[in-house]
Structure 1
Amino acid sequence: MSEKAPATDVEVQHNEVVEPAHPLRKVEHVLNADLAVALSTGPQLKAFSGSAFRLYLILLVCFMGSLSFGFDTTVISGVNGMVQFTDYFGIGGGDTGGGQGIVTAMLYSIFSFGCILATFVGGPISDRFGRRGGMFIASIIIFAGVAVVTAAQSRIYLFFGRFLIGFGSALNASASPAYVAEISPPQWRGRIGGLSNTFSYLGSVICSGLVIATGRINSDVSWRLPCAVQFIPTVILAVGVWFIPESPRWLMSVGRKEEARDVLAKYHGNGDANTLLVLLELRELETSIGTGSDKGWRDFFDYSELFNSRAARYRTFVTTWLGICSQLSGGGLFYYITVLFDLAGVKTQNGRLTFSFISVAIGALGGLTGAFTVDRIGRRTLWFWGTVGCSLTLALAAVFTATLESGAAIAFLIIFGFVQNMTY
């Protein structure tokens, strides 16, 4: 559509009355002209309305998956920094910040292996059973994994539990972000998506603070207790998904158009199903996915749509490249953060765990900064300059660690965490 088209298209039928064109008020970073018109003509969901507060509670349930993920990624690096944990499983390295050998590498990588396997079934499961069903199945698998890790008596149980947690986390990563994006009003979508990641950082902060406290316990309770706390957000997610509405996009995909319209009206149109925004979203859903419900299992596992056109191949490339960059941005080093602090000159277990907590807390502030600035400066701009910042701060941390400049090394490790969380 050209830039002049919206001037005439604004005169649309609304509540069966032809409305005159409204002057566009400023709508930042909205590239779709029709959406810009819809957002400028209203009514929209009001931030302090009853429907908005119900939406916040819905999102809070979904964010439990992110909180659990953040808790898990931090708990394993935290307990790896405990002598009680490394001695119990015969890993070694407890006196130098934590395990660093092949057993530790397997402990971390088995989680990623579970994630990789789950990516092939995560999308089909959430498409077949709905976003709520996908989140529920994921939470049950995570619950089982947490139980196995918490009760582990040997490495094999530890590895198996970590695999289950990784598998369940990836299933949730397919269902939960999709649900959050589809239930969120378009004008809030960027910030809400950022807040979803921020709950991951919140889980990390809670966990790293807990690990400092339990690290003083001179028994296996020191690491079993923080592992067990992960039950809490997992249970909230498993129960809470049955008290929230299904995604309007999924409802439309299975032929439940009226329910999709009701959800959009309630949470996007301030209760009015005839707002221009709701009508536009319904039209776009019908155009992109149709209203059929005749899909078989083979259709859910059909990935040809990712490659069957030039535009599809481009989108697939961009999202894949973003994932690769995210994984190569240095975030994985935080599994070994206590070891890095030992190399930087922090020689006590409590000191390393304390600096880990500080690093995680400042990283969470970075996540919040990214969440609340992404809609203003744009996603590509934040991604580009954030990646440059990650490269510089990580390089400086490596230089100062190698030259035994402990204060500077610690500072740049913490700054890197801030920039990395803000960007990815």
Structure 2
Amino acid sequence: MPDSPEQMKPPPGHFYLAGRLFPRKKWWRDKNMRTLYFFILVLIFTNTANGFDNSMMNGLQAITYWQDYFGHPHGSTLGLFNCVMSAGALSGLIPMPFILDRLGRKPCLVIGAFFMLLGIALQSAAVNFAMFIAARWILGFGDILVICTAPLLIAEIAPVQDRAILVTIAGANYQSGAFIAAWTTYGTLQIKSNWAWRAPSLIQGIFTILMIVVVPWIPESPRFYIAKDQPEKALKILAHYHANGDEHDEVVQLEYTEITTALAMEKNAQKSFSFIDFLRTPGNRKRLVMIVSIGLFSQWSGNGLVSYYLTTIMNNIGITDSQTQLVINGGLTTFALVTNILFSFFVDRWGRRPINLISTIGMLISFVIWTALSAIDAQQNNENPAIGKAVVFMIFFYYLWYNLKSGLIASYTTEILPYHMRAKGYTVMEWALYGALFFNQYVNATALDNIGWKYYIFYCCFLAFELIVVYFFYVETRYVPLEEIVKYFDGDDVAAVTNDEFEHDAKRAVIHVDDSKAA
């Protein structure tokens, strides 16, 4: 078996599993795989609702009826409008790993969807500030359960050949919601009533309803079933969706082998996993640094300024017309959607570490230029429209580099965590992400009000710090099956999931399950 991801690059039309080369299946010609990919598409669209909400809050700030209804919020009040959803998300992260590990991935999706629909209903019908704030807290609580669970389930049911791309698209699909919301708020700007802001809130619920309708038919994670001592169900799911029901298919046998062996080794190593175990071994400490930095860097790279306060930034550079602001918001989300989806198909070809390095360097250069242009514009009191246009261009240029890596948030996190750590590790990453987001949403509005462009200097410095962390800590995982990535953190002895002895034992277990079922 090749020793590094670079050596594991398969020839065109093939993929590696357990050190062996297999031809890629044409999923569109396989009925069961087409069904599975439809289910995965539904799970991918769970992130659409999240992106819709964030972009919608940006758009609402440019709608006069929303501003008038809530008394033209600014500074800390505007920050509270935005950050309360993150507060709800941080609360939802507390029960999430226990729901995932004890009840499974699908129940977590349903529970989260219920809270999301409740929050959307209250937000759409809000009659005062308190009701709107309460609705957004509930919405955040449910949203985090859904957007954390969906990529885990995708990673655990997707065929090996397409897993990385599908999970990356799931992360990148945040931009589809932002795209829809940006142009929805642009369209509802023409409504001459409070429905100009209530209508977008209602539309947000469409994606959650779609998921609830389909989720009963989506398969549960085979890894969850094996962890709960129900291997027959796991084998049946793998065989049905990956090999048209053939439990003796070679790829299915090897997938089952790797999962059962890896989980057995994890159980032998320790009875259960707690958050404190992230500090016990060098491999786990490295994982901790990586997952915390992935979450933190996803929101503290300067993108939070544009995600929620584009209207304020536009006002600061002299672009104050509501329609122009919404067009820029729509154009930015369109650009982000196209580039995110496009980059998702190159995660294996370019590699995780190079993508993170190039993205961070590009963002740093862009942000420094953006900051310098903003300083010049402030000195000239917005008298030169060309500088304002240059700032807008640099925002787009910055997002080109940010979008290069944004889809990797979900896929990279799930890859570097073995099953017994995955739910809790993903929770840690989301704690870092939403902790940074909460800070951004609350502090950014106040900082922009008080010090304007000078606040950008903080993000220039932080991006330089990001580059150092990525360079020294991030590892490459492309082409490596999910159960085998552990060796890059814990060594070959711990990760010997393809060892002949283990493979032999696991295959015997598969045959035993199959024979007992037939008997």
Relative to the length of structure 1, the TM-score reads 0.85
- Is it true that 1:415 corresponds to 2:380 in the alignment? no
Give the secondary-structure state (helix, strand or coil) at the position aligned to 1:346.
Answer: coil
Note the alpha carbon deviations across 1:58-83, whole angstroms, 9 max, x for none: 01221231111111111111102222
Q: Distance in 2 between matches of 1:76 and 1:384?
A: 31
C-alpha contact (below 8 Å) 2:182/2:333 kept by paired residues: yes
Label 1:309 to 1:44 Cα distance change in 2 as closer, same or farther (>3 A).
Answer: farther
What residue number does 1:105 align with? 79
C-alpha contact (below 8 Å) 1:305/1:312 kept by paired residues: yes
Label 1:344 to 1:271 Cα distance change in 2 as closer, same or farther (>3 A).
Answer: farther
Partner residue of 1:326 out of 284, 287, 298? 298
What residue number does 1:35 align with? 18
C-alpha contact (below 8 Å) 1:139/1:234 kept by paired residues: yes
Partner residue of 1:193 out of 151, 157, 167? 167
What residue number does 1:287 align with? 261
What residue number does 1:208 align with? 182
Partner residue of 2:154 out of 159, 166, 180? 180
Note the alpha carbon deviations across 1:108-146, whole angstroms, 9 max, x for none: 111111122222221211222211111111111111111
Letter in 1 for 2:174: S
Q: Distance in 1 between matches of 2:304 and 2:77?
A: 16
1:288 deviates by 2.9
- Is it true that 1:26 corresponds to 2:11 in the alignment? yes
C-alpha contact (below 8 Å) 1:62/1:180 kept by paired residues: yes
1:29 deviates by 11
Note the alpha carbon deviations across 1:155-190, whole angstroms, 9 max, x for none: 111111111111111111221110011111122111
C-alpha contact (below 8 Å) 1:27/1:36 kept by paired residues: no
Label 1:190 to 1:34 Cα distance change in 2 as closer, same or farther (>3 A).
Answer: closer
Q: For structure 1, which segment, 148-157 or 270-279, has the greater mean C-alpha deviation from structure 2 after superposition?
A: 270-279
Q: For structure 1, which segment, 271-280 or 228-237, has the greater mean C-alpha deviation from structure 2 after superposition?
A: 271-280
Partner residue of 2:368 out of 392, 395, 414? 395
C-alpha contact (below 8 Å) 1:146/1:231 kept by paired residues: yes
What residue number does 2:498 align with? none
Label 1:312 to 1:348 Cα distance change in 2 as closer, same or farther (>3 A).
Answer: same
Q: For structure 1, which segment, 176-185 or 319-328, has the greater mean C-alpha deviation from structure 2 after superposition?
A: 319-328
1:35 deviates by 2.7
Count of residues in Structure 1 that have an aligned counterpart in Structure 2: 388
Note the alpha carbon deviations across 1:182-235, whole angstroms, 9 max, x for none: 111122111101211232211111111110010122221100000110111111
Partner residue of 1:256 out of 230, 255, 274? 230
Give the secondary-structure state (helix, strand or coil) at the position aligned to 2:284.
Answer: helix
Q: How does 1:26-175 map to 2 (within 5 A)?
A: 26=11, 35-37=18-20, 40-41=21-22, 44=25, 46-90=27-71, 92=72, 99-175=73-149
Q: Distance in 1 between matches of 2:10 and 2:400?
A: 35
Gaps of 5+ in 2: 4-8, 378-386, 407-519
Q: Distance in 1 between matches of 2:67 and 2:30?
A: 51
Q: Distance in 2 between matches of 1:276 and 1:43?
A: 13
Instruction: Quote the sequence identity (%).
Output: 26
Q: For structure 1, which segment, 267-276 or 379-388, has the greater mean C-alpha deviation from structure 2 after superposition?
A: 267-276
Note the alpha carbon deviations across 1:252-275, whole angstroms, 9 max, x for none: 111221111121123334543223
Between 1 and 2, higher relative CO (CA 8 Å, sep ≥ 6) is seen in 2
Gaps of 5+ in 1: 4-23, 93-98, 294-298
Label 1:268 to 1:308 Cα distance change in 2 as closer, same or farther (>3 A).
Answer: farther
Note the alpha carbon deviations across 1:32-56, whole angstroms, 9 max, x for none: x75340xx23574634321221012
Letter in 1 for 2:398: F
1:345 deviates by 3.0
Partner residue of 2:338 out of 365, 368, 390? 365
Letter in 2 for 1:411: F
Letter in 2 for 1:35: A
Q: Distance in 2 between matches of 1:390 and 1:122?
A: 32
Q: Distance in 2 between matches of 1:352 and 1:127?
A: 44
Label 1:301 to 1:111 Cα distance change in 2 as closer, same or farther (>3 A).
Answer: farther
Label 1:115 to 1:27 Cα distance change in 2 as closer, same or farther (>3 A).
Answer: farther
Q: Distance in 2 between matches of 1:300 and 1:233?
A: 35
Label 1:415 to 1:406 Cα distance change in 2 as closer, same or farther (>3 A).
Answer: same
Q: Distance in 2 between matches of 1:313 and 1:27?
A: 36
Give the secondary-structure state (helix, strand or coil) at the position aligned to 1:268.
Answer: helix
Label 1:179 to 1:392 Cα distance change in 2 as closer, same or farther (>3 A).
Answer: same
Letter in 2 for 1:26: P
Q: Distance in 1 between matches of 2:368 and 2:122?
A: 38
Q: Distance in 1 between matches of 2:133 and 2:233?
A: 43
Label 1:77 to 1:162 Cα distance change in 2 as closer, same or farther (>3 A).
Answer: same
C-alpha contact (below 8 Å) 1:81/1:339 kept by paired residues: no
1:283 deviates by 2.1
Partner residue of 2:214 out of 219, 240, 261? 240
Give the secondary-structure state (helix, strand or coil) at the position aligned to 2:94.
Answer: helix
Label 1:56 to 1:261 Cα distance change in 2 as closer, same or farther (>3 A).
Answer: same
C-alpha contact (below 8 Å) 1:122/1:171 kept by paired residues: yes
C-alpha contact (below 8 Å) 1:151/1:224 kept by paired residues: yes
RMSD of Structure 2 on Structure 1 (CA): 2.5
Label 1:52 to 1:406 Cα distance change in 2 as closer, same or farther (>3 A).
Answer: same
Letter in 2 for 1:272: D
Partner residue of 1:313 out of 276, 285, 291? 285
Q: Distance in 2 between matches of 1:29 and 1:305?
A: 37
Q: For structure 1, which segment, 307-316 or 53-62, has the greater mean C-alpha deviation from structure 2 after superposition?
A: 307-316
C-alpha contact (below 8 Å) 1:344/1:410 kept by paired residues: no
Letter in 2 for 1:386: S
Q: Distance in 2 between matches of 1:373 and 1:273?
A: 32
